[in-house]
Amino acid sequence: MNKKSFILWMLGLGLLVATCILSDIITLGEKMSELHPLIGYVFYGTIGLITLCLVVIPTLRIIFTPEMKGHKSGNIHDMSAEELDKYIEQLRLSKEQRAHIAQANDRSDVVKAILDERKEQAEDIIRSTGESVFVITAVSQNKSVDMISTLSMNVRMIGRLIRQQGYRPSYIQLFKLYVSVISSSIIIGSVDELMDDIDLGSLVGVTGMKLAGSILKSGVNGAANAYITLKVGKSTIKYLEEGSKEFQENKKSVKHEIRRNARKELPKVVASGLKNSVNM
């Protein structure tokens, strides 16, 4: 997939998102306008500004970032001096990092340490984004707001991870990341609406169950969106580590590893999100 094809596919994806959320946005806008026409205009303007600043512009920045062909830190010690020189040039290191590498007795160890530090920083970015997504989508009771907030925070996370590394995944991999976020948001939103139609209090005959069911639904919604965020973040890192060709060769095992790691980290992210919410 080239740049032009990616942009066209993204426009199509944008139209799909607009179709899914337009009715909700218009309904909310009309309610705002009933209070005062100016409030309605401010609401529509805010939604447009959020979409432009947090989705469109970051996506354009990502598009014009060069593609990373592979970032396999595990093979560094097997590289020849010439291969290592070429690899170091790809990493977009700071002057201090380059000076540290030049003075080192074993350059491979220093490069490996730099990449390991980058990976730790990337994991922190993914975790903090997952916590934010959990809190916002758990509190929000609107499918469209959930979709916009989840999409914008995931795009921002992908952008931060790419800026940290200096390279982006291939266009087809980027498109898959966006599809994963949007399709999952649509499915979660649909399940959320289905749960709204179920009265748990009447179902089990327990007074107060409706409130408990609402809290449970919000928590499940937030956790599901947080899981998608963790999966998207870890997929981005794997794309950058493996490169397009290597990822495709080990696709099944790598995807299994991504899902397993996301599930493993989800309880910590949810617990941290709840703790931060209480301390606010």
* pLDDT for 123: 93
* pLDDT for 217: 74
* pLDDT for 126: 94
Angle formed at CA 228 by CA 270 and CA 4, multiple of 5 degrees = 150
Q: pLDDT digits over 223-253, tens only?
A: 888 999 999 999 888 888 776 666 677 778 8
Distance of CA 250 to CAs 80, 228, 259, Å?
Answer: 25, 21, 14
* pLDDT for 54: 81
Single-letter amino acid, residue 158: I
* pLDDT for 231: 92
How far apart, in whole angstroms, are the C-alpha atoms of residue 173 and residue 222? 25
Q: pLDDT digits over 100-139, tens only?
A: 888 888 888 888 888 888 889 999 999 999 999 999 888 8
pLDDT tens for the 280 residues of the chain, in order: 777 787 778 888 777 777 777 777 888 888 888 888 888 888 888 888 888 888 888 888 888 887 765 545 556 777 778 878 877 777 777 888 888 888 888 888 888 888 888 889 999 999 999 999 999 888 876 777 777 888 888 888 998 888 887 778 888 888 888 888 888 777 777 766 666 665 555 554 555 556 666 677 778 888 888 999 999 999 888 888 776 666 677 778 888 899 999 999 999 999 988 887 666 5
How far apart, in whole angstroms, are the C-alpha atoms of residue 50 and residue 134? 19
How far apart, in whole angstroms, are the C-alpha atoms of residue 139 and residue 221? 9
Distance of CA 67 to CAs 114, 151, 171, 246, Å?
Answer: 20, 22, 8, 14
* pLDDT for 130: 92
* pLDDT for 245: 65
Sole residue written with tokens 């979660």 = 188
Closest CA to 89 of 111, 105, 72, 120: 111
